[in-house]
Amino acid sequence: MEFLHLISQNILSPAILFFALGIAAGFVKSDLEVPDSISRYLSLYLMMAIGFKGGVAIANTHDINGEVIAAIGAGLAIGFLQPFIAYGLLRLTSKLDSPTAAAVAAHYGSISMVTFVTAATFLKAHEVVYAGYIVAILALMEAPAILSGLFIAHRSAPQIKHANEEKKLMSREIFTNGAILLLTGAFFIGWITGQPGMDKVAGFLDAPFQGILCLFLLDMGLLVARNLHHLKSFTWPLALFGIYMPLIGAGIGLFTSRMIGLDVGTGTLFTVLCASASYIAVPAAMRLALPEAKAAIYVPMSLAITFPFNVTLGIPLYFALASKLLINN
């Protein structure tokens, strides 16, 4: 009953209800929309806010210990290795071609910024604290998954070749991605300026956060609704993969969190990172690096199946399991 209570609390939160409103508006073909410029601003705001807050949290701890180093190392390793698990499962259970399977696998080794922010908001509503360094792991888990996805594609289909210029562009997409730069930069600025810095910008980065998250999730709901038509061509094994792969990632995240000794809040967010799937940075990299992969498969899988599952049911499930398995502060 406690788990059902967590689910109901999460689904009935303003942010998730606005997400549902966006999906409903898309279903009835409403003319409701968030202009692209506003949508981009909302993304930038969320990345700036979560990165800065994480940096301030690190500054306030005054301690980078073995737990921090172990968690960051584990995040990098999971980001690189998890696509191999996903690829193996896809090749066993579906008829996807190798480049598309590799592209899908890369999504499930990477992370979803919005899922992370929703989980952090969920923890705040339940007054559960977490370590600020988790934001550094968030920023670092994109590139390893992209690299392993490309490695899988080239190993399984050696005939896939790219010109040097394309490879340079791909590297630029991975390592100078604007989202990653802003998130990482805001993290370090928050770390450098600490609490005095937060006091100066709290009126912008803290007070409006919940309202802006609601507007952003409304926009995400509209985007999900626009991609649902792609699911008509999905097979049941592919649709189920979008549900059980996050659960496998969550299991890996929970096991790793327990081994490292993470607290409930930090372990929940680490688990969310392992369970989420990218729909921003990785699709952009895959379009450039693996144009032969089918975007109509890998985009809706992460956006229209895994993302809604995680933000409605996944987050309270991961928190409930972390509460049972991990230490309390």
**Mind listing the pLDDT tens digit for each residue in 185-222?**
888 898 899 889 999 999 998 888 889 888 888 887 88
Model pLDDT, residue 163: 46
Question: Shortest CA distance to 312 belongs to which of 217, 177, 173?
Answer: 217
- Say if CB 326 and CB 257 are below 8 A apart: yes
Residues of the chain with pLDDT under 70: 1-3, 61-64, 156-180, 230-231, 233, 280-281, 284-285, 288-289, 328-329
Residue type, 33: E
Alpha helices, DSSP H only, in the chain? 2-11, 14-27, 36-61, 66-93, 98-107, 113-125, 134-140, 142-156, 164-175, 178-205, 209-227, 236-260, 264-275, 281-289, 295-300, 307-309, 315-325
Domain ranges, ordered by start, for the chain:
2-325
Model pLDDT, residue 41: 86
Question: Shortest CA distance to 149 belongs to which of 107, 96, 90?
Answer: 107
CA distance 312 to 25: 18
CA distance 221 to 124: 22
Q: Which CATH architecture has domain 2-325?
A: Up-down Bundle (1.20)
Q: Classify the C-alpha dihedral 248-282-30-13 as positive or negative.
A: positive
Question: pLDDT digits over 281-322, tens only?
Answer: 677 667 766 778 887 788 788 888 898 899 889 999 999 999
CA distance 86 to 102: 9
